[in-house]
Structure 1
Amino acid sequence: MVSLLNRLGLSCLGDLAAMKSSDLVGRFGPVGLEVHRLSRGFDRHPPITIAPPPERASTHRFEQSVEDINVVVATARQVADELVTHLSNQGVSCVRLHVCMQTDHGEQSDRLWYQPEGLTAAAMAERVRWQMEAWIATRGLTSGVVLLRYSPVGLRAREGRQLGLWGGSTQADEWAARAVERLTTMLGSDSVRVAQWRGGRDVGEAFALTPAAVVDMERRAETVVMKEVAWSGALPTPSPSIVYDEPLLAVVNDASGCVVSVSGRHELSASPAQVVIGRHVYNVVSWAGPWPVEERWWDPSRQRRAVRMQMVLARHGDASVRTATHAVVMVLEHGEWWMTARFG
């Protein structure tokens, strides 16, 4: 364009500024109008004269410092409900949220959370729990929380949700979420708990009962499937349906009656043939593993070294093998065998 202007006899900005804007628009279109504005020293875009959008940040100040994480999360859910309702009335949803918490001693935690599908009120409260748990674990708090602030920094137009025909969210999932929410309203925020994926290599740590008020029920099923597959060192799926609060002490013997052990190279001394739990004796129909796990080796007080196996057991002397078998998870730790979970 510069060479063309030179051929037209316009060699300096003063020549462009002296021309009518309509002539440049007629020859060059929108680019001509932009060049004419720049030559006269105007801004590329005219100033916005409309009123700024309303303040969408939601802040809650506690009357007294709060050290109980459940109290903070319950309050965060109430503040999130108000914020989501306010955004919904404007036809938008929050996809990027800044969460700020301050303590009575001036300590502050800031974090930016992103959810491309939009953050619900339960999802916001859930992020507050994650942020506070990480804050306590990494730094440690010297006082309670006195301020909580939500600042939506990324908004998008609110869109409807398309329910899936195969997999994903269904109408039944929505009905279940509404039923849980209704029970929570009737009985209280801590009365209704659902199993939420927490992560971990131990079957007893992978899920934990969490108050339903702070769980994003709409996307809970989808995220669990994705996270279970991605967790490194976890046992192969499917997960056991029964996890014992107190593992059952067991003895795993080989065919000669000797206790099965595992070497430092994670090799079995012999194939397991029999499992004794209390007064009950079971035959090992089949087995898989072992899967070793070594956690927190750098921390002498919390380090753990164990070996896990999956076994299919049948009662000793029972001829109806097909109807009497059941699969279990066995763990060898500190030289002792434990039954930690079972399937079905």
Structure 2
Amino acid sequence: MAPELSESVRRAVLWVPDWPVVAAVAEGLLDPEVPAAVHAGRGVLVASASARAAGVRRGMRRRSAQQICPELVLLAADEVRDARAFEPLVQAVETVVAEVEVVRPGMVVFLARGPARHVGSEGALAEALVGVVAEETGAECLVGVADGLLTAMLAARAGVVVPSEESTVFLAGQEIGCLTLAAGTRRAAAETADLVDLLRRLGIRTLGTYAALESGDVAARFGSHGLTMHRLARGLDTVPPSARRVEDDVLAAADLDPPADRSDVAAFAARALAEQLASRMLRRGVVCARLRVAARTEDGTELVRTWTIDGAPSAAELTDRVRWQLEGWLSGRSGRPPSAPLTHLELVAQEVSPAGAVQDGLWGRARRGEAQAGRAALRVQGLLGAEGVLVPVLQGGRDPRAAARLVAWGDDPTPLRRTDAPWPGQVPTPWPATVPREPVPVRLLDAEGGLVRIDARGTTSAAPRRVVVPPAGRAQTGTAATPVVRAGEYPLLAWAGPWHGAERWWTDQGRRRAYVQVVPEGVPAMLLALERGSWQLEGIYD
């Protein structure tokens, strides 16, 4: 889409409310009649209309949401699922509009002037889009038309067409937090959230108040990002349109041999291309406004999709969008899947402009060994799939097993639980150095040979004297034949504990566990856990 030579461009935004919930319903994971919510970690991200009617709100803790609405169905967030289910909807929009950009799963944007002229008016365009989306996908959507990206987004949330002469009035009364809607990357979202928090503390609580500030004062006080958000608050685009092309597009392309007919296979090449594209943009010191993903099939069919992406996207953020798009094309859920396997993949950074200041990290560029390790991991993922290479992420928890989360190599290593939060009943540190993939059944015996018990008050039935590891006491710590500890019966030299804790005891999923540290003779110290009357080996202190 060529930019128009005005201070702001007339845009239309199509938005599907509660898209993560709608996507889960589309894939058969949720019943549309039951109150539902999608959560990340412990907080609610999106709630369905029936759940909101019961009092469930965004940001609410899962425990509080279930107390307010006991019949609430919770589902973990999944960006790949959201993007995969969104592709049929984008294809439905393309039956009305020729060129569409995906902002995020659940929202698309496009220039409004041409399509509106074709169907008769902007109101007719909105009606046509709502009708075709409902007919093709069954989803309910809202369409907004206005000058500037942020204004169009807010118009879509209200389902209105804002005339050009009313844009300033429409924006003026909007809450300052609406600026976060325009953030297209994690970095931009974090910077915008910090800016909004600062503006609120300074007493600037509406877009109109922020827009009334002088641009020079905004640049001096809030920097380049604050100036970009200031343009959005004024109803303008983030970058003034130019009559000439400032920078050439940045391209990264590769042939797929053998051709890829599965998304996990194509994702291997996509990740390498995304890293190559991010590296080229960094070397040239440029940022982009759009990412174009293009693929070619064995029979010559061309597949193209454009994503809106602002700022200097990282390789991980580029990879996410490419992987989402490949899932939409190749998962088989698309209304028009590729007619043949993919033979060529191409990524193009468009609307490229100088970054101003792009530099390496504080400690310099990644070392050669780190780069080689990353390439090796990508090659293994190409053979085994995205879930074939996992890396641990530390997060909050009461025990070593809960404090480690495995994510696919290259995915966002974000902990789901805060590490600095209080965890009553937490096993004291240091924690075991070796944690088996699955707990190993053991027996903890007293002097009489009876099984040691721990009551609800955390009191042991007798002092532990021996630990018995049965012959089947093996677990996968790297290979299936690796023993966690030799089978046998070991007298104890010392023991400590118990540390007793109950999690969600008021629900059917509640757990009661008690931990004991023991030092057997002849083998390393162990962390044992008692749950439902059975002892398990949870870790080895090497």
Counterparts of residues 38-77 of structure 1 (less than 5 Å): 49-51=243-245, 69=264, 71=265, 73-77=267-271
- 275, 282, 301: which one aligns with 1:88: 282
Measure the CA separation in 2 of the matches of 1:331 and 1:340.
Answer: 7
Contact 1:306 1:331 in 2 (8 A): no
Q: Which residue number corresponds to residue 247 of structure 1?
A: 439
Q: Provide closer, same or farther for how the CA distance between residues 82 and 304 of structure 1 changes in structure 2, counting only shifts above 3 A.
A: same
Q: Which residue number corresponds to residue 94 of structure 2?
A: none
Write out per-residue CA displacement over residues 109-167 of structure 1, whole angstroms, 9 at most, x where no aligned residue.
xx9999x9x654246536888x89xx9xxxxx98268799998999663212232xxxx
Q: Which residue number corresponds to residue 511 of structure 2?
A: 305
Contact 1:250 1:339 in 2 (8 A): yes
Q: Which residue number corresponds to residue 178 of structure 1?
A: 371
Measure the CA separation in 2 of the matches of 1:85 and 1:177.
Answer: 15
In the TM superposition, what is the alpha-carbon distance from 1:313 to its structure 2 partner? 1.4
Contact 1:113 1:127 in 2 (8 A): no
Measure the CA separation in 2 of the matches of 1:235 and 1:150.
Answer: 50
Residue 286, structure 1, aligned to residue 503, structure 2: no
Q: Which is worse superposed, 277-286 or 231-240? A: 231-240
Residue 268, structure 1, aligned to residue 481, structure 2: no
Q: Which residue number corresponds to residue 197 of structure 1?
A: 393
Q: Provide closer, same or farther for how the CA distance between residues 308 and 121 of structure 1 changes in structure 2, counting only shifts above 3 A.
A: farther
Contact 2:530 2:536 in 1 (8 A): yes
Counterparts of residues 221-232 of structure 1 (less than 5 Å): 229-230=419-420
In the TM superposition, what is the alpha-carbon distance from 1:77 to its structure 2 partner? 0.7
Measure the CA separation in 2 of the matches of 1:112 and 1:47.
Answer: 16
Residue 161, structure 1, aligned to residue 361, structure 2: yes
In the TM superposition, what is the alpha-carbon distance from 1:87 to its structure 2 partner? 1.5
Measure the CA separation in 1 of the matches of 2:535 and 2:371.
Answer: 43
Structure 1: gaps (5+ residues): 1-29, 31-45, 101-110, 136-140, 164-169, 316-323
What amino acid maps onto 2:432 in structure 1? P
Structure 2: gaps (5+ residues): 1-215, 217-239, 294-306, 471-487
In the TM superposition, what is the alpha-carbon distance from 1:232 to its structure 2 partner? 6.3
Q: Provide closer, same or farther for how the CA distance between residues 247 and 83 of structure 1 changes in structure 2, counting only shifts above 3 A.
A: same
Q: Provide closer, same or farther for how the CA distance between residues 150 and 283 of structure 1 changes in structure 2, counting only shifts above 3 A.
A: farther
Contact 1:252 1:272 in 2 (8 A): no
TM-score normalised to the size of structure 1? 0.51
In the TM superposition, what is the alpha-carbon distance from 1:261 to its structure 2 partner? 2.7
What amino acid maps onto 1:326 in structure 2? P
Q: Which residue number corresponds to residue 539 of structure 2?
A: 341
Measure the CA separation in 1 of the matches of 2:309 and 2:502.
Answer: 31
What amino acid maps onto 1:74 in structure 2? F
Measure the CA separation in 2 of the matches of 1:230 and 1:124.
Answer: 30
What amino acid maps onto 1:334 in structure 2? R
Q: Provide closer, same or farther for how the CA distance between residues 193 and 93 of structure 1 changes in structure 2, counting only shifts above 3 A.
A: farther
Contact 2:458 2:514 in 1 (8 A): no
Q: Provide closer, same or farther for how the CA distance between residues 87 and 286 of structure 1 changes in structure 2, counting only shifts above 3 A.
A: same
In the TM superposition, what is the alpha-carbon distance from 1:208 to its structure 2 partner? 3.2
Measure the CA separation in 2 of the matches of 1:328 and 1:66.
Answer: 47
Contact 2:268 2:379 in 1 (8 A): no
Write out per-residue CA displacement over residues 284-310 of structure 1, whole angstroms, 9 at most, x where no aligned residue.
613244242526975x5xx25141424
Please identify the structure whose Cα radius of gyration is greater: 1
Counterparts of residues 129-168 of structure 1 (less than 5 Å): 143=333, 157-163=357-363
What amino acid maps onto 1:78 in structure 2? A
Counterpart of 1:244 in 2: which secondary structure? coil
Measure the CA separation in 1 of the matches of 2:356 and 2:459.
Answer: 56
Measure the CA separation in 2 of the matches of 1:73 and 1:297.
Answer: 43
Write out per-residue CA displacement over residues 82-103 of structure 1, whole angstroms, 9 at most, x where no aligned residue.
4313412431468x99999xxx
Write out per-residue CA displacement over residues 23-54 of structure 1, whole angstroms, 9 at most, x where no aligned residue.
xxxxxxx9xxxxxxxxxxxxxxx985554655
Q: Provide closer, same or farther for how the CA distance between residues 309 and 79 of structure 1 changes in structure 2, counting only shifts above 3 A.
A: same
What do you get for the CA RMSD once the two structures are aligned? 5.6
Measure the CA separation in 1 of the matches of 2:292 and 2:501.
Answer: 39
Relative to total residues, which structure has the larger strand share, 1 or 2? 1
Q: Provide closer, same or farther for how the CA distance between residues 81 and 268 of structure 1 changes in structure 2, counting only shifts above 3 A.
A: same
Counterparts of residues 90-109 of structure 1 (less than 5 Å): 90-92=284-286
Write out per-residue CA displacement over residues 184-216 of structure 1, whole angstroms, 9 at most, x where no aligned residue.
4776745794632175746446143744xx268
Write out per-residue CA displacement over residues 215-268 of structure 1, whole angstroms, 9 at most, x where no aligned residue.
68xxx8xx88x97734764655444322223432222234555433333x4523
Matched pairs, number: 256
Contact 1:242 1:343 in 2 (8 A): yes
Measure the CA separation in 2 of the matches of 1:204 and 1:268.
Answer: 24
